[in-house]
Structure 1
Amino acid sequence: MQKIGGVYLTDKPMVLYIVSDSVGETAEQVAKAVIGQFDTRNYELRRFPFTTEKAQLQEVISEAKNENAIIVFTMVINGLREFLVEEAEKANVRTLDIMTPLLNLISKELNMKPKKEPGTIRRLDEKYFKKIEAIEFAVKYDDGKDPRGINKADIVLVGISRTSKTPLSMYLAHRNIKAANVPLVPEVAPPKELFNAPSEKIIGLTTNPRKLIEIRQERLKALGLKDGANYASMERILEELDYADKVMRKLNCPVIDVSTRAVEESASIILEIFKEKGYKVGSTK
């Protein structure tokens, strides 16, 4: 055994076969974590993903025997795990089951039977990353920052200031839905992308003017400004609501009054509208 640069190198590399009825990432990461505890680089990891047939397992066992390899595996499909262990034992091939001991322990603790479905971790990861992607999308295309988001969005929310556009966008993002929102201001023409987008994916938001005055006055106080500013005046609010109504009519989109509704309720109505239209949005499961 030689030591080069503080790392021991054996004459013959240790070979680990990573076998799984799914991708095999779990077993590979565990194997790497364990090997990392030793001062050696003289090893090989060979992954055999989606091994779901007994014939495939026989081939893996035969190859492992020829290379004196250790089989590290995660198998949840009924019958395959038992077959692998029995056949490997007959061939004098060493095996290590990464998943079953913990699976049995948790099953006993929860008094539940495991699903025995391969790839559940990956599906959960994909769902998680879709949610993160939708949240990042909502932040990037919030408040009309970039009109290009209108074409990329599953849902586009339009309305005047303080009509819950941002909270709704974030709530929908947690349902894996990419939502962009565009403010409607009389002095600023809406982006052309809004009128080129399918009306089926646009939702207008409106509110009661008296309720909006209260909300805007509170907003001004929070900013340390006087609550009598034009932003919170009835005249200004009626002007904005009238302008927004004209734009929404031109867009031919559904309009929801959010004045007495919680964000969750408004989001539920939006999703129901899309369901009735048959317009598919991101996974809401």
Structure 2
Amino acid sequence: MPDHMTNLHLVSDSTGETLNSMARAVLARFDEPQVVQHRWSLVRSRLQLDRVLEGIQAEPGPVWFTLVDRSLRLALEEVCMRLGIRCVSVLDDTLDIMQQEIGERAQARRGAQHVMDADYFRRIDAMHYVLAHDDGQGAAGIHDADVLLVGVSRSSKTPTCFYLANRGIKAANIPLVPGAPLPEELDTASCPIVGLTIDAEALIEIRRHRLRLIGTGGVRTDANDYVDPDAVKAEILAARRLCVSRGWPVIDVTRRSIEETAATVLQLMDAWHQRRRDGSKRPVALPPRT
């Protein structure tokens, strides 16, 4: 573990989300990195850049940037060179590769990925859909879904649906409740259906935490079927058997992040659509976890 603090300056002329994502991905490779991230977003004038440069001089450290304006880029690189600070434009190499492959120069557009285009409105529409079809709501609209997630209560269905909505995917989720009938719409759904399961001990702990948050009205949490070990194990087993009998692939989310679960759902969706195109009747196989 490093014994010193490192400053990392993230300088962007847009929201800075690209740099933030890259920083998360890189720093995740280190054990407890002692890094202070200085986020400088919407830097679009020399006055704004001067404030950034003052901050860099006061707390020197590597600089990552995404700046379209050439004069601002040069000014930032010049100061960093004078101070002996590493400075890198994080998109340059990838842009160069794609320009060579596509045979066209990339347009100098700030925050091009954030424009209010058809993709933007598709994500907003998907978010509204998830809100309206969370936890079994709006069963009549299930046929508009891109994917259906089923699973026992507290198996991360809702957060996974919201993550997928940010990718423009309309995801509805349906809880598998012991003794409760399934919505008839599941029998005629025209989209992939994916089951989510989780280890019993992990689920019990999540549910106990949930009960503590909402209050239990004096009922002992360990005496409730909702968290009773035998009842929970039976509930999970019944849900898994249901998914297997219906030919729905099942993802174990016990040690998966929401991002990993969503990525696997997307892979299963692709496989489902490929099978439809090929006319195959084989069940969708769960992709290997890497």
Rounded to whole Å, the distance in 2 between the matches of 1:197 and 1:236 is 30
- The equivalent residue for 1:201 is 192
Which ranges of structure 1 fall in alignment gaps of 5 or more residues? 1-104, 281-285
Rounded to whole Å, the distance in 2 between the matches of 1:232 and 1:157 is 22
Pairing of 1:1-285 with structure 2 (within 5 A): 106-110=69-73, 115=107, 124-198=116-190, 201-225=192-216, 226-228=220-222, 229-279=224-274
CA separation of 1:273 and 1:109: change in aligned 2, threshold 3 A? same
Rounded to whole Å, the distance in 2 between the matches of 1:122 and 1:264 is 20
Rounded to whole Å, the distance in 2 between the matches of 1:204 and 1:210 is 19
| Aligned residue pair count | 173
Letter of the structure 2 residue corresponding to residue 268 of structure 1: A
| Alignment deviations for residues 163-222 of structure 1 (CA, whole Å, 9 cap, x no partner) | 000000000000111000000112210011101114x61100111111111111111111
Give the match's secondary structure for 2:221. Answer: coil
**Structure with bigger gyration radius:** 1
1:114 positional shift: 6.5
RMSD of equivalent CA atoms: 2.6
| Alignment deviations for residues 219-276 of structure 1 (CA, whole Å, 9 cap, x no partner) | 1111122422221111221221132123212321110001111111111111122233
| Alignment deviations for residues 90-143 of structure 1 (CA, whole Å, 9 cap, x no partner) | xxxxxxxxxxxxxxx9454356987179xx799643222111111110010000
**TM-score normalised according to structure 2 size:** 0.54
**TM-score normalised according to structure 1 size:** 0.55
Give the match's secondary structure for 2:150. Answer: strand
Letter of the structure 1 residue corresponding to residue 166 of structure 2: H
Letter of the structure 2 residue corresponding to residue 269 of structure 1: T
Rounded to whole Å, the distance in 1 between the matches of 2:255 and 2:117 is 36
Rounded to whole Å, the distance in 2 between the matches of 1:261 and 1:116 is 38
CA separation of 1:116 and 1:167: change in aligned 2, threshold 3 A? closer
Does the CA-based 8 Å contact 1:154-1:179 persist in structure 2?
Answer: yes
Does the CA-based 8 Å contact 1:159-1:205 persist in structure 2?
Answer: yes
CA separation of 1:149 and 1:250: change in aligned 2, threshold 3 A? farther
Rounded to whole Å, the distance in 2 between the matches of 1:122 and 1:255 is 34
